[in-house]
Amino acid sequence: MIYKLDLWMREIRIMEKIDHVAIVVTNIKHAVKWYTENRKCKVNYQDNSWAELQFSNIKLALVLPHEHPAHIAFIDNTIKNGTKHRDGSESIYDHDTFGNIIEKIKYEKKNKK
């Protein structure tokens, strides 16, 4: 019995976490207005080039076509020498085998006081 349990435990994998999905819009202000009026979400961040909306299970980034690509972002704490962002995160863009853009992102660890 212990042997079967050990084999079962070895097969359990920790799934990756999707951090956000980014979609291209033509106007950040209008897109934020539409999503907040038509979907249940809150605005985490907004400026003229992008916005981040929080849903219960995921973040949705609204991006302009000339600023950021449409993509899906996965948490990856192994990133080294990525692009540093103003929020302290670091990321690297890549592609899957189908041409979709993948962002690997990690966030600064917050110091507990």
Q: What is the pLDDT of residues 64-111, one digit of tens each?
A: 999 989 999 999 999 999 999 878 899 999 999 999 999 999 998 766
Bridging pattern class, strands 59-63 and 42-46: unpaired
Domains of the chain, CATH where assigned: 15-106 (3.10.180.10)
The residue with greater pLDDT, 95 or 8, is 95
2: which 2 tokens? Answer: 């212990």
pTM score, whole prediction? 0.80
Q: What is the pLDDT of residues 21-74, one digit of tens each?
A: 999 999 999 999 999 999 999 999 999 999 999 999 999 999 999 998 999 999
* C-alpha–C-alpha distance, residues 65 and 40, integer Å: 25
Residue 77 has what pLDDT? Answer: 92
- 52 phi, psi to nearest 5 deg: -125, 125
* C-alpha–C-alpha distance, residues 61 and 70, integer Å: 9
Residue 8 has what pLDDT? Answer: 55
- Quote the mean pLDDT of the chain: 89
- Classify 40 as helix, strand or coil: coil
Residue 31 has what pLDDT? Answer: 98
